[in-house]
Amino acid sequence: MNKRTLLGILALSGLLLCPAAMQAQQEEPDQIALANDEFENSFYEALKQKGIENYDKAVTSLQKCIRLKPESAAAYNELGKNYLSLKNYPEAERAFKKATELNPQNRWYWQGLYDVYYAMQDWNRAIPIVQKLTEWRKEYYQEDLVSLYMYTVQYDKAIALMNELDEKVGKSDKREMYRLQIMGEEQYRKPRKEELEEAIRKNPKEESNYLNLIYLYSESNQEEKAEEVAKKLEKAIPGSDWAQVSLFKFHLNNNEGDKAVQSLFRVLESKKIDGKIKHRAFNEFLIFVNNNPKYNNDLDKAVSYLEDDKNVNVPKEVGKFFFNKKDYKRAADYFTKSLAANSDDIEAVELLLYTYENSAQNELLLKKASDYIDIFPTHARLYYFAGVGANAAGQFKKAKDFLESGADFVVEDPELEAGFNTQLAKAYEGLGDTKKANDYKTRAEKVLKQKRTR
């Protein structure tokens, strides 16, 4: 697209206005006022360079624009954007500040300044800018303001603003999480329990009062009282997912597995409850199931709720849990489930093969290791597992072939190298070649001795 075409589009879009219109109407983010061809050419060049991420060249063109028109707020705004992209925050801040001085009525210039402080995580300097931005979109920026008050530990201001937003736009999960965070601070554990109980009597449909009271009772180790409040909440607001979070824990503590399962599924199904809380509840249930294996099927169902988590491979982590408990059968089931979703996860592959080795499932170990060698032909440990499985199954020739093929892929791993030598000694011993068997035993001992002396 050439310069005239771009400027024509900007004009048709209402972004280029005549001087009279510019006085009467606020500029848009990319609105520009061109005084002459030289300014026009430089500004266009800056837009073009920014579009292809040549921010340094865009800055040079914009500096020329500013020399030609020192009062162009639009040029300073564009300059700020490019400095921000370059992560040159001091210069970006200066440019956006100048833009707001030249045209304080343009919201986008203030937004640019907010973007700088947000990128710098300078929450204290961001606050007055966001307060200014509320002149244009009040509730929208007030939500940001709540977060900034939380980041800067200005809890009184956060509470006041959250109460205002609750009245105007209704409650939000994020604000409820902030409230629980504030309640964790010693100085904010008031109102006292009696005041919350009175508030519940006056307004039994206000969920936050129950949650705050549950928290206070739990903090003072009055678990029975906390459980009573959770049950009251469930009765007063049957659809409350938050009640189930507390009830789930109480049911586990009381060894009421069936009730705990019902509450857990309500928590995992909820769109209101934060993922961290769901994972915490799931982990508590996992420990419970380890001691109560009759709930294995419920654990499988619980895992299915979390399988799409992008941050945690839940089936693999559950497999690791059972592996560390030496429950190899259940560990293998979850590693297999994990690999069904992500077959390229070599860590899960190795863990699965370890479960077969530790549970003496030698034929399965041999078969699976052989299959995975076709997928990962240079991964040494797979050849080792195949050799272990073949030796244990009495297939010494096959073991020798696997081990000799994989030995070349061992790199700076003395323990694995010693393992290869030990298994090769077994293979040659099984084949009746005592000389080579002894040779490989000696090699294994030498490698382990060198490892100990390092």
Domain ranges of the chain: 1-119, 239-308, 360-454
- Name the band, by pLDDT with cuts 50, 70 and 90, for residue 188: low
Angle, in degrees to the nearest 10, between helices 138-151 and 123-133: 160
CB 83 within 8 A of CB 92: yes
pLDDT at 227: 86
If you average pLDDT over every residue of the chain, what do you get?
Answer: 86
Can you read off the two tokens belonging to residue 321?
Answer: 């849990």
pLDDT at 23: 34
| Residue 446, CA atoms < 13 Å, CB-side half-sphere | 7
Has residue 297 got a pLDDT over 70? yes
Arithmetic mean of pLDDT, 210-235: 84
pLDDT at 187: 65
Name which of 119, 113, 118 is nearest 93 in CA terms: 113
H runs (alpha helix) in 254-379? 257-269, 275-291, 296-306, 314-324, 328-341, 346-358, 362-375
Can you read off the two tokens belonging to residue 21?
Answer: 């219109």
Least confident window among 103-117, 125-139, 438-452? 438-452
pLDDT at 25: 38
- Name the band, by pLDDT with cuts 50, 70 and 90, for residue 124: very high
DSSP structure class, residue 30: T
Has residue 287 got a pLDDT over 50? yes
pLDDT at 107: 92
Can you read off the two tokens belonging to residue 103?
Answer: 């045209």
Q: Is 94 helix (H, G, I), strand (E, B) or coil?
A: helix
- For residues 85 and 1, which has the higher predicted lDDT (pLDDT)? 85
Arithmetic mean of pLDDT, 224-242: 88
Which percentage of the chain shows pLDDT scores above 90?
57
Alpha-carbon span 421 to 435, nearest angstrom: 14
Which percentage of the chain shows pLDDT scores above 70?
90
- Name the band, by pLDDT with cuts 50, 70 and 90, for residue 178: confident
Amino acid letter, 102: L
DSSP structure class, residue 411: -
pLDDT at 393: 92
Has residue 158 got a pLDDT over 70? yes
How deeply is 175 buried, as exposed, middle or buried, from its count of CB atoms within 10 A (0-12, 13-18, 19+)? buried
CB-CB neighbours of 294 under 10 Å: 8
Name which of 383, 452, 370, 376 is nearest 424 in CA terms: 383
Least confident window among 213-222, 263-272, 415-424? 213-222
- Name the band, by pLDDT with cuts 50, 70 and 90, for residue 360: very high
Arithmetic mean of pLDDT, 17-28: 36
CB 208 within 8 A of CB 182: no
H runs (alpha helix) in 292-345? 296-306, 314-324, 328-341
Alpha-carbon span 248 to 262, nearest angstrom: 8
Alpha-carbon span 23 to 105, nearest angstrom: 11
Q: Is 254 helix (H, G, I), strand (E, B) or coil?
A: coil
Whether 1-119 shares its CATH topology with 360-454 is answered: yes
Amino acid letter, 231: K
pLDDT at 361: 94
pLDDT at 449: 83
At 194-221, the pLDDT tens digits run 888 888 998 898 888 888 888 788 777 7
How deeply is 308 buried, as exposed, middle or buried, from its count of CB atoms within 10 A (0-12, 13-18, 19+)? exposed
- Name the band, by pLDDT with cuts 50, 70 and 90, for residue 190: low
Can you read off the two tokens belonging to residue 195?
Answer: 């005041």
- Give CA separation, 179 vs 63, 161, 163, 375, 422, in Å: 47, 12, 10, 51, 60
DSSP structure class, residue 188: G
- Name the band, by pLDDT with cuts 50, 70 and 90, for residue 241: confident
pLDDT at 2: 44
pLDDT at 169: 85
360-454 CATH: 1.25.40.10
pLDDT at 217: 81
Has residue 296 got a pLDDT over 80? yes
Least confident window among 91-95, 149-153, 242-246, 370-374? 242-246
Can you read off the two tokens belonging to residue 4?
Answer: 């005239």
Can you read off the two tokens belonging to residue 437?
Answer: 């068997």
Has residue 367 got a pLDDT over 90? yes
- Name the band, by pLDDT with cuts 50, 70 and 90, for residue 384: very high
pLDDT at 186: 64
Arithmetic mean of pLDDT, 445-454: 78
pLDDT at 242: 85
Arithmetic mean of pLDDT, 173-179: 84
Alpha-carbon span 372 to 346, nearest angstrom: 9
H runs (alpha helix) in 170-192? 173-183
At 49-72, the pLDDT tens digits run 899 999 999 999 999 999 999 999
Has residue 9 got a pLDDT over 60? no
Angle at alpha carbon of residue 410, lines to 405 and 415, rounded to 5°: 120
Could you say which of 1.20.1260.10, 3.30.1490.20, 1.25.40.10, 3.40.50.720 is the CATH number of the domain covering 1-119?
1.25.40.10
Has residue 238 got a pLDDT over 50? yes
CB-CB neighbours of 95 under 10 Å: 27
CB-CB neighbours of 11 under 10 Å: 12
- For residues 138 and 371, which has the higher predicted lDDT (pLDDT)? 371
Can you read off the two tokens belonging to residue 116?
Answer: 């700088």
